[in-house]
Structure 1
Amino acid sequence: MTTVVPTSEEDPALAVVRFTSELAWADAGPEAAEEQVNRLCLEAQESMVMGRWMDLASLMLTSADLMFSKVSDKDLECIFTVICNLVTKPESLDEVHEMTKLISGKIIQQPNDKPAMRLKILFNLYNLLENPYSRFFVYMKALNLAVNGKVTEHIIPSFKKIDSFLKEWNIDIKDKRALFLGIANVLKESRSSSKDSFKFLTKYLATFSGEDAHTMDEAKEEAVRTIIEFVKSPDMFQCDLLDMPAIGQLENDAKYASVYQLLKIFLTQRLDGYLEFQAGNSALLKSYGLVHEDCIAKMRLMSLVDLGSNESGQIPYGLIKDTLQINNDEVEKWVVKARTAKLMDCKMDQMNQVVIVRRCTERVFGQHQWQTLRTKLSTWRANVANVISTIQATNKITEDGSHSQAVQGLIIR
């Protein structure tokens, strides 16, 4: 297979046009092929001389699909390196963006054919661009390609840099929505990234705060998805979803009110509340892929957390047994599970059959919890100030006493 590395002084772009056109017309016969190759090369030269970079890019991409099927990965990367480099030629940012749309559109056209290579080419295009919005545009194409081509593992590492990307791109709220939702969709394909998927879904929903009802309606499906992801997750026990307008709109929604009710049960009620809900909504739970036994296990832990927050630091074994609806010999097992999940900092007093709670995770951390924290910090600050004042007063008394003794000794002498 011929490698596209120019060995003469021929311009790399012209060499790519010659190579791809020869490949495209190879079956037409020598005479017809030569005529077409010469025609395309002349057209490419004219575009280069006239600075018509968009036309040149379009010409070079004519046989792009053929390249992916007939050219080795090494040659393919070389060809597209030359094509992508055309975005550095125009002075107009608008023209650069149009070229970016054209090139990236061709790259993602067949996402199941060499998806990893296509993704690599998109990243190369991204790095050649100076216009922040064009970079964002290519990144979004990469997200979609990663999902459609099932190569999400190649783009997930970049999510750690999203905050710095956002500063660089300086995109508006609608683009942020598309970005956060795109990332959540990528992470959805990765089973080990459920928490990260949930995080970006909540970022997406947060962008709807302050919007009107018509705009908010756009977020309904994803609001339901976010609730289900939270309920389904075996290791997420705290969220602020109830404070989000995008979630709140579901409360009185004819289709999704029951899903909102389910979230409220998990965040504000105990196991008996869930069991009552499940009795009348078992089909609903199954339709969202929720397993009843898993929900019971999670609700037992969340009910135990609720007991820890509301029982003045001590929870009788009997109360745990009744609330979690378990046998006597299972109480300590569930306490250990709560400690292992870092939901509670506690110790078990087996002699007195109570659990002594030092710290407990709040299921909801909203306005009320912030106010409580503020009150505690204010009290702590006042106590520290009192201690400092006491120490200063004690030191002053000590210093005054020492000074009086010294004066008295001087008089005696």
Structure 2
Amino acid sequence: MSASQPPPVFIDLLLEDQALELRVYLKNLGAEIADEKSSKGIEDDLHKIIGVCDACFQDANEADIESVLNSIVSMLVLINPERAENLILAFSEKLSKASDAKLGPVTLRVLWLLFQSLEAASTMRYHVYYHLVQIAQATDQIKSVFKDVEHLKSQFAQCPPSNEQLQKLLRLLHQALLGSKQTELAAKVMVELLSTYTAENASQAREDAQACILAALSDPNTFLLHPLLQLKPVKFLEGELIHDLLNIFVAEKVTTYQEFYKQHKEYIVNKLGLDHQENLRKMRLLTFMQLAETKTEMSFEMIQKELDLAPDKIEAFVIDVLKTKMVRARMDQMARKVFISSTMHRTFGKDQWQQLRDVLCDWKANLGAVQTGMKSFVAVAN
């Protein structure tokens, strides 16, 4: 086979013959490999082929590169699973290290094919997926390999990774999602990571807990922060400044944050790397939500006082609130008032669950009354 012509995916050949074809092809591309079968068997053949398979990366044709790599995949999935483990690891590492803007899409497709070809109970699925995420992170393609936490769990339902492996994967996913600006998904992944710690080892999750809090505080679209306080690694931070700051965002008002900022400006800006103006924006939104829980209308003067806003900033702020869809309201500029229809609760604890239960009970009773009325109407009509 000449180096100018790519090999097909050799599914109709014996493994040994496939290996020989690949050896010849890669040698013609300049790879340091013999063009004869190994006397030690197919595993040794594959080991040597994988070691020099990056010789095909110089090819300008993406389809040719993918054909070579898929040939290797077709061989890996046919040999004894136990003897294939080290080969699969070597192949995955080779592709993850070689990926760039050009090769990223190819290596993603090839490793995804390998991942899907492995038995659902194979322990190697975890390792291949981890390298998939590495490639996706490097090429900003994380959406192609990660949907959500529940889907991730389903991928490993028959062979769950160890707790340490899962933590390592979730950290990588969190970094990749943050890098691609998917802050909401990143926050969910970090919460899942923290939930893997117990009371016994929560102290080991210090860095993860701090990263989780920072991600939640800095995300302009994350407003429900109360659940973080229930996580054991976050509880372990009680008494520290970052935990105090989280508590302010969970339950306090703008003025409390401003006092905290005056005392710990260096910590917030330089140590945590948070943007003070963005913090103020979020605290004002959260304070407004809290006020809206108990009020059906608010005057501009009240908003100005409670949120420490300049008079000419109030209308723009209310519009900003409505854009978040956390609060449903109507602004009357002439009356200088905001009329509240509904709001998302800033915290959702026992009282909020009781309130929801009461609403559902009333709804059930009303449906019962409607049903009774309809039966009476039908009876009279008949």
TM-score, normalised on structure 1?
0.78
| Greater helix content | 1
Gaps of 5+ in 2: none
**What's the counterpart of residue 320 of structure 2?**
337
Structure number with larger C-alpha Rg: 1
Structure 1 residue matching 2:34: 3-state secondary structure: helix
Structure 1 residue matching 2:353: 3-state secondary structure: helix
Task: Answer whether contact 1:87 1:129 (CA < 8 A) is retained.
Answer: no
Q: Choose from 359, 364, 373 the match for 1:376.
A: 359
Q: Choose from 241, 265, 275 the match for 2:258.
A: 275
1:200 equivalent in alignment to 2:189: yes
Task: Answer whether contact 2:254 2:280 (CA < 8 A) is retained.
Answer: yes
1:184 equivalent in alignment to 2:171: no
Per-residue deviation, residues 202-237 of structure 1 (Å, max 9, x unmatched): 2222333xx133x22332212212222222222222
> What is the aligned-residue identity percentage?
22
Task: Answer whether contact 2:136 2:145 (CA < 8 A) is retained.
Answer: no
**What's the counterpart of residue 108 of structure 1?**
96
Q: Choose from 14, 31, 37 the match for 2:34.
A: 37
1:324 equivalent in alignment to 2:326: no
TM-score, normalised on structure 2?
0.84
1:236 equivalent in alignment to 2:219: no
> How many residues in Structure 1 have an aligned counterpart in Structure 2?
369
**What's the counterpart of residue 16 of structure 1?**
22
Gaps of 5+ in 1: 27-35, 404-413
Which whole-Å CA distance do the structure 1 matches of 2:144 and 2:346 have between them? 30
Which whole-Å CA distance do the structure 2 matches of 1:290 and 1:231 have between them? 8
**What's the counterpart of residue 135 of structure 1?**
125
Change (3 A) 1:12 1:280: same
Per-residue deviation, residues 96-128 of structure 1 (Å, max 9, x unmatched): 333312321332344459444433332232233
Report deviation, 1:270. Answer: 0.8
Structure 2 residue matching 1:37: 3-state secondary structure: coil
Q: Which moved more, 1:160-169 or 1:75-84?
A: 160-169
AA partner of residue 190 (structure 1): S
User: What does 1:229-308 correspond to in 2, within 5 Å?
Assistant: 229-239=215-225, 240-252=227-239, 257-287=240-270, 288-308=272-292
Report deviation, 1:305. Answer: 1.0
AA partner of residue 122 (structure 1): L
Report deviation, 1:365. Answer: 2.5
Per-residue deviation, residues 136-161 of structure 1 (Å, max 9, x unmatched): 321111112333xx2022x4233227
AA partner of residue 43 (structure 2): M
Task: Answer whether contact 2:146 2:152 (CA < 8 A) is retained.
Answer: no
Structure 2 residue matching 1:246: 3-state secondary structure: helix
1:167 equivalent in alignment to 2:167: no
CA-atom RMSD, angstroms? 3.2
Q: Choose from 82, 86, 101 the match for 1:94.
A: 82
Report deviation, 1:178. Answer: 3.3
AA partner of residue 262 (structure 2): A
Structure 2 residue matching 1:62: 3-state secondary structure: helix
AA partner of residue 306 (structure 2): T
Change (3 A) 1:373 1:139: same
Which whole-Å CA distance do the structure 2 matches of 1:293 and 1:161 have between them? 31
Which whole-Å CA distance do the structure 2 matches of 1:317 and 1:71 have between them? 64
Which whole-Å CA distance do the structure 1 matches of 2:263 and 2:202 have between them? 29
Report deviation, 1:363. Answer: 1.9
**What's the counterpart of residue 32 of structure 1?**
none
AA partner of residue 249 (structure 1): F
Per-residue deviation, residues 62-85 of structure 1 (Å, max 9, x unmatched): 323444457864443333222222
Structure 2 residue matching 1:302: 3-state secondary structure: helix
Change (3 A) 1:350 1:42: closer
Per-residue deviation, residues 255-311 of structure 1 (Å, max 9, x unmatched): xx2111111111211100110110111111112221212211221111111110133
Which whole-Å CA distance do the structure 1 matches of 2:29 and 2:334 have between them? 85
**What's the counterpart of residue 120 of structure 1?**
109
